[in-house]
Amino acid sequence: MSWHGDRSSRSSDTAIEFRNVSRRFTLRHEQRSSFQDWFIGLLRPRGRAEEFWALRDITFSVRRGEAIGILGRNGAGKSTLLKLLTRVLEPTSGEIITHGQIHAMLELGAGFHPELSGRDNVFLNGSLYGFSRKQMDERFDEIVSFAGLERFINTPVKHFSSGMFMRLGFAIAVHMDPEILVIDEVLAVGDSAFQRKGYEALQRLKAGGSTIVFVSHNAEQVRSFCERSVLLVGGKMLDIGPTDEVVDHYNRMLQEEVVDASILRVRAIDDEATVIDRLESGRDLGIEVLLRLPGERHTTALFVALDLYDRQGLHLFGRTSELPDSLPLIDGAGPDTRRIRASLRGLPLAEGPVTIAVTLQRSAGPGVDTVDRQETTVEIDPVGMTGNRGMLRLDNHWDWEAPPDLADDPSSNIRLSRWTTR
C-alpha cells in the first residue's frame, strides 16, 4: 500500500490514478479509547471486530483538465474515496498516484478559527494548503472581493453568518490555483448570484487546466459539469464512462430499486400507542406507519414526509426525513414489514378534523419522486378551549399593573386599572 505524490510533474497527462484501491474499516463494538478500557480488554477476550470494506478494488484514472463526477447514494463510498484522494485516510491496499497540488472543498471553512478575523483566517487557511505569506498576499484582495466581504474582513469570523463563512471558504478555494480541485456538493453556497459566480469560477479553473473531482448525489449538477463520471454502489465501481450514460444508469438503478416499497398503513396513536380517531386538544399526537421494504437493506435513499392539513386543505405542517438504511422487521406482521413512528408533542390545534398525510419518496424535495402515499384523519376535541375562538390552541393571558393602593388590598376585585408606561 502506498501513496505517491509528485507536485512538480506537469509533464504527465494523468492527474489522478487509482490502482486497485481498497479501504477497510474495523468496526469495533467496544472501542477502546482509554487506558481503563485497555486494561479491561487485556483481561477479557476481545469483542469481535467487524470488518467493513468501504471501497473495494477501485481502478480509474483522470486526465489533466478533466472534470469527473462521482455518483452514488449515501454509504456508497464517495466520502471514503475523497478522503483517500486528499490523503486524510490511507488506502488499505492499492495505490493512488496524483500529479499536482490538491485542494479539497469537503467542508467550506473547515480550518477557520472563530476568534480570528476573516483576514487572519484567509492566511491561516492558505498556509494549511502550503501557501506562503507572499503567495497569499497576492491573492488576498481578489479573495475578499470575490466573497463580497470587504466590510467585514477584519471582524472575527464567529460573527459571520453561515453564508458569509461559506462564501469566504469557497473564495479561498477557487483562488489557490489548485491543480486538482475536489468538490463535495458545495455549489449550493450563498444566494443565486453567488452560486452563478461560483459556477463560473469553477468553469474558469477547468478551462485553465485544473482537474476537478465533483461528488454529488444530485445527478443534474454532475451532468452540467463533468464529461465523465464514476458510479459507486456499495463500495464497488459499477460504471465509468460519459456522464450522460452514467447518470442514466444511476437514475435507472434508483428507480428499479424502490419499485417494491410501499406504505401499508398509517394510523394516529396516543401516548400508549393505542389507535385513536379522536384526540383532546393540546395532547401529544403519535403517528404509526407500517412500511413494506423488501430486503435487508435498501440501497437507495428513501425519505418519509409527514404533512398535516386542516379541513379546507390548508397546509399546517410538513417535514421530510431520511429513512435509515436498515430498519428491523417486526414480528408477527407480514413479510418485509417495518414500523416507524412519529410524534408531535402538544398538538397546538383547537378543534376540527386534521388530515395526516404520509408520503414515501425517493428524494428530499417536497412532492417529488413519490413512491407511495397514505392519509388518515383525526378529530380534535376542543377540551379546555371554552371561551377561545379560532383554530390554534395558544397559551394566553394578560398582564397589567394595578395602582399600589388597590393591589395591596386583597379584598379588591378591581384588577384592570391602568397601564403604566416605562
Partner 1 sequence: MASQAIEAIRYRALIRNLVTKDLKVRYKNSALGFLWSLLNPLLMMVVFTFVFTKVLNQNIEKFPVFVLVALLPWNWAAASITLGCSALIDNRSLITKVYFPRVLLPISVVCSTMVNFILSLPALFLIMVVFHVAFTPWILYIPVIVLVQAIFLTALVMFLAPLNVYFRDTLVLVEVGLTAWFFLTPIFYPIEAVAPNLTAWMYRINPMAAIVAEYRTILYHGGVPDPLFMARTGATAVVMLVLSYFFFNRLNRNIGEQL
Smallest gap from Cβ 391 to partner 1, in A, equals: 45
CA distance 69 to 211: 11
Smallest gap from Cβ 126 to partner 1, in A, equals: 7
CA distance 397 to 410: 21
Smallest gap from Cβ 184 to partner 1, in A, equals: 10
Q: What contacts 321, CB < 8 A, 6 or more positions away?
A: 303, 304, 305, 306
Which residues lie near partner 1 (CB under 8 A)? 25, 33-36, 38, 83, 86-90, 102, 104, 106-107, 110-111, 113, 115-116, 120, 123-124, 126-133, 136
Smallest gap from Cβ 309 to partner 1, in A, equals: 42
Nearer to partner 1, 106 or 238 (CB): 106
Smallest gap from Cβ 228 to partner 1, in A, equals: 24
Question: Per the structure block, which three cell numbers stand in for 354?
Answer: 386534521
Question: Contacts by 259-262 with C-beta closer than 8 Å and gap 24+?
Answer: 260/292, 260/293, 260/294, 261/291, 261/292, 261/293, 261/294, 261/298, 261/302, 261/360, 261/371, 261/372, 262/291, 262/292, 262/360, 262/371, 262/372
HSE of 297 in the Cβ direction (CA atoms, 13 Å)?
12
Nearer to partner 1, 129 or 317 (CB): 129
Nearer to partner 1, 133 or 418 (CB): 133
Nearer to partner 1, 58 or 380 (CB): 58
Nearer to partner 1, 89 or 240 (CB): 89
Smallest gap from Cβ 28 to partner 1, in A, equals: 11
Nearer to partner 1, 79 or 210 (CB): 79
Give the amino acid at 167: R
Tell me how far CA of residue 397 lies from CA of 28, 282, 351, 394, 400, in angstroms: 55, 17, 20, 10, 10
Coil, strand or helix: which one is 129?
coil
Smallest gap from Cβ 182 to partner 1, in A, equals: 11
- DSSP one-letter string for 51-100: EEEEEEEEEEEEETT-EEEEE--TTSSHHHHHHHHTTSS--SEEEEEEES
Smallest gap from Cβ 176 to partner 1, in A, equals: 12
Nearer to partner 1, 60 or 129 (CB): 129
Question: Per the structure block, which three cell numbers stand in for 422?
Answer: 416605562
CA distance 254 to 238: 13
Nearer to partner 1, 89 or 340 (CB): 89
